[in-house]
């Protein structure tokens, strides 16, 4: 009985702790197949699939390819590159983004497409960028002050599209956080 009264008094004693709930809504366009996406995206995805085939993935056997379309018309591709000393490898998305930044520092990335396939299991669900890649994409969106349209898929099937990395990383850490 005394213990119950004590718990009740603690509850009353700390009424200044008010919680608010933050709801964040994300929006994706879902295509049932690659051939339903815009032709430009289909062509870009074909380049990402070709890049996926160049992945160096002897450990995970999970191959990822990415392709970027820049506002100057250039296409930059990347594939994941693994290393026995984890996490020294690099994901396909960052390979492509960093290469674009190095080769075309003033170009704007307009579109990013990603495809992934496992050598051991069917990859039929869309595979989104990992957290580190999301942060890198966010940095480039912030840097260029323009959203990047992102399309991602497995080896075939459904394709998800996001108008910006904000849908995949809604609480972004950027230079304004420093």
Q: What percent of the chain has pLDDT over 90?
A: 80
Query: What are the extents of the domains in the chain?
Result: 29-167
pLDDT for residue 155 is more than 50 = yes
**Residues carrying an active site annotation:** 93
100 is in an annotated binding site: no
83 is in an annotated binding site: yes
Q: What CATH code would you report for 29-167? A: 3.40.140.10
135 is in an annotated binding site: no
Write the CA distances from 34 to 10, 39, 61, integer angstroms: 58, 9, 23
Mean pLDDT (the chain, rounded) = 91
Taking residues 68-73, report their average pLDDT: 98
pLDDT tens digits along 82-93:
999 988 999 999
Q: Is the peptide bond before 104 cis (omega within 30 degrees of 0)?
A: no
């Amino acid at each position: 009985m005394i213990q119950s009264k004590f718990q009740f008094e603690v509850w009353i004693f700390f009424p200044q702790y008010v919680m608010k709930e933050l709801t964040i809504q994300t929006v994706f366009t879902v295509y049932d197949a690659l051939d339903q996406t815009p032709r430009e995206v289909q062509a870009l995805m074909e380049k990402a699939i070709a890049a996926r085939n160049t992945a160096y993935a002897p450990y995970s056997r999970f191959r990822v390819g990415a392709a970027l379309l820049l506002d100057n018309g250039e296409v930059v591709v990347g594939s994941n590159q693994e290393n026995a000393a984890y996490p020294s490898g690099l994901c396909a998305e960052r390979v492509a983004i960093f290469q674009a930044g190095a080769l075309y520092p003033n170009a704007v990335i307009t579109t990013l497409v990603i495809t992934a396939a496992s050598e051991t299991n069917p990859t039929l669900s869309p595979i989104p960028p990992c957290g580190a890649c999301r942060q890198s994409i966010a940095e480039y969106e912030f840097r260029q002050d323009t959203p990047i349209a992102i399309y991602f898929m497995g080896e075939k099937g459904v394709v998800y599209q996001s108008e910006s990395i904000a849908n995949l990383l809604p609480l972004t850490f950027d230079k304004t956080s420093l």
